[in-house]
Chains A and B, each alone.
Chain A
Amino acid sequence: MVFRVAVAGGKGGVGKTTVAVNLAVALTGRGRAVLLVDADVDNPNDHVNLGIKPVKISDISLFAPKIDEEACTTCGMCAQNCPENALLARSGKPPVFFEDRCSGCRICELICPSGAIREGSKVIGYLFSGTRRLLKLLGAELRPGEARSPLVVRALMEHADALLSSGHFEIVVVDCPPGLGNTTVRAMMGSDIVLLITEPTPLGLSTLKLSKRALERLGLRGLVVVNRADVSGKGLDAIKAFLAKGGLDLLIEIPYDEEAVRASVEGVPLVEVAPSSRAGKALTRLADVIDAMVGSASP
């Protein structure tokens, strides 16, 4: 069985990518076969932190209607039934199609009595992959101007599952998008553990509370990582007081470290370039803990 770790946390910019990339690199360094999945499809950055140039695998497309103007009887059924109002009926003429609105549901194709809706497609993003030594990266990127991030994540997770079915990988680390909406839920589903990254501010705490409820509802196990833990004593105390109420455990505190900023600018993972820096040590310890969990999970 593949051990699935999701790196999430709700709020943006708390350090999900830093944790995901360093965890994946550190686990690979321990001889584990790791697949890192960058599911932050609005703004994927794992490859930037890894310092690699990913290669496009394929477009991610949705069905979009192509209207056969010869066959169209201009009955208007497609426009009436389109749930996204992406088709506009015109009397005596074929409907007008607004590609931006289309969600690819195929209702127009299903409902058209004259078979005038033909198979077309629109590109909403693309899949990419990369390799850094033994680490394999898989990711996807939403096309700017497109709204349907959830469907890009869906295509990405299906592709990841196909790769995992080869049995080659022991661990998959999923770098989730910010928020707790549909894209994040899709990226987290099926995880053995969810690392909830937070920061010691009221904003971090407020999001952590939402994340806790979310994991309870999804039946997922969460562990808390406080990033930049030492920037506010008051903030850290508030997080600890919340965790003391139970249901969610603190796994590790990562201190604020300028080395982390430098590593990100240079595109090298901190655990490799500065393993003995303060944040580097914490991230290495995190990898040790996860490594032990995987060890005890496999037969």
Chain B
Amino acid sequence: MVSGKGGVGKTTVSASLAYLLGQRGISLAIADADVDTPSLHLVLGLQPTSKEESFLSKKASIDEEKCTGCGKCISTCPYGALKEGPSGKPMLSWFACEGCGACKLICPEEAISIKSVKTGELIIGRTRYGQPMATAQLELGEHNSGLLVSQVRIKAHEAATLEGAELVLVDGAPGIGCPVISSLVGADGALVIAEPTPESLKGALRVLEVVRHFGLEAASVLNKADISDFKPKAVETLEEAGAPVLAEIPYDRAVVNALAEERPVAELYPSSRAGKALIELSEAVETFFSS
């Protein structure tokens, strides 16, 4: 589940799809790949069974005793992460350091080491519907979200294999960068969520470029389909971009009301307009991706 633009309904659609496909006897494992700001666990009622810290990131660490302040590391750092501090010795800007080790290599005093740092926390458990689920929380300012997403995805795939699940549902991150690319790895298809606004459509087209880059099947969902006159244009553009619109979900207060209860809208309000559209979507998804 990807969108390019954030907040168009990936989590809302993912939660209802997970619930509905489960209800229809399809066994699935779930991965929340929005490790920056995960929230699918709230709606699916994740009960964690294990938590582990991930150390996938590296950062430079300077030994002040050994450092002579020669400044070679400052001019070598390709990311501008080292600046001269008040003492004349280098100071590391933690969020700019990529841990590449160029500074360590150039330092004549062997005063720099590269240390592993915490990237985030990996959480595994089951949803309140009994489905295995993996999620994670990225550390503030970390740049290895893609690596953390890989771990989440691998955990979900492991659970799926172990339980003979037919489907892994990955709720992606907003954007088109590292975590999104990582959430598409190993996928058979991508469902692009869009709203009928120029911003959302632009995001959808950009993420579709990435989806095609990886040669994946694509389909789309138009969420809040009736909020603007832009709908026909949106449908046409998505179809032309090779992502047939499987369902149109109307704007419906039932969605917000279900969110407030931290439940999938398709579970709480199945006969609402949005609920009905999501049920249609779950049928279409099953057909589309099983073919």
Contacts and interface: CB of A to CB of B under 8 A. Distances in A.
A103 B57 CA distance: 14
5 contacts: A13-B5, A45-B198, A181-B138, A232-B259, A265-B228
Interface of B: 3-8, 11, 34, 36-37, 39, 42-43, 58, 76, 78-80, 95-96, 98-102, 105-106, 138, 140-143, 145-146, 173-181, 196-199, 202-203, 206-207, 209-210, 213, 227-230, 253, 256-257, 259-260, 262
Given A42-B4, A149-B175, A180-B37, A110 B106 contact: yes
Interface in A141-182: 142, 144-151, 154, 177-182
A147 B175 CA distance: 10
A287 B66 CA distance: 51
B8 A13 contact: yes
Contact of B178 (A17, A48, A149, A203): A149
A282 to B, nearest CB: 19
Given A42-B175, A179-B175, 17 more contacts: A12-B8, A13-B5, A13-B174, A45-B202, A83-B58, A105-B79, A144-B176, A145-B213, A148-B177, A179-B34, A179-B174, A180-B140, A202-B260, A206-B42, A213-B140, A265-B197, A265-B229
A150 to B, nearest CB: 5
Contacts of A12: 3, 5-8, 37, 174
A191 interface: no
A166 B7 CA distance: 36
Interface in A39-82: 40-43, 45, 48-49, 63, 81
A130 interface: no
Given A149-B175, A232-B260, A265-B230, A10 B36 contact: yes
Contacts, number: 197
What are the nearest 7 A-B pairs in CB distance? Answer: A13-B7, A12-B6, A179-B36, A42-B175, A182-B143, A105-B100, A12-B174
* Most chain A beta-carbon contacts within 10 A, residue among B7, B105, B198: B7
A132 to B, nearest CB: 16
B198 A48 contact: yes
Nearest to A179: B36
B37 A235 contact: no
B228 A185 contact: no
Nearest to A258: B227
A231 interface: yes
A189 B213 CA distance: 33
B114 to A, nearest CB: 9
Contacts of B228: 261-262, 265
A202 B42 contact: yes
Nearest to B10: A12
B178 A148 contact: yes
A145 B209 CA distance: 8
Contact of B142 (A110, A154, A182, A203): A182
A181 B197 contact: no
A144 B209 contact: yes
Contacts of B58: 83
A169 to B, nearest CB: 23
A15 to B, nearest CB: 8
Contacts of A185: 95, 140-141
A203 B100 CA distance: 35
A189 B95 contact: yes
A147 B140 CA distance: 18
Contacts of B203: 43, 45
A208 to B, nearest CB: 10
Contacts of B98: 103, 105
A243 interface: no
Contacts of A245: none
Contacts of A149: 175, 177-178
Contacts of B138: 179-181
A217 interface: yes
Contacts of B199: 17, 43, 45, 48-49, 264
Contacts of B176: 42-43, 142, 144
A275 interface: no
Interface string A112-148: 0000000000000000000000000000001011111
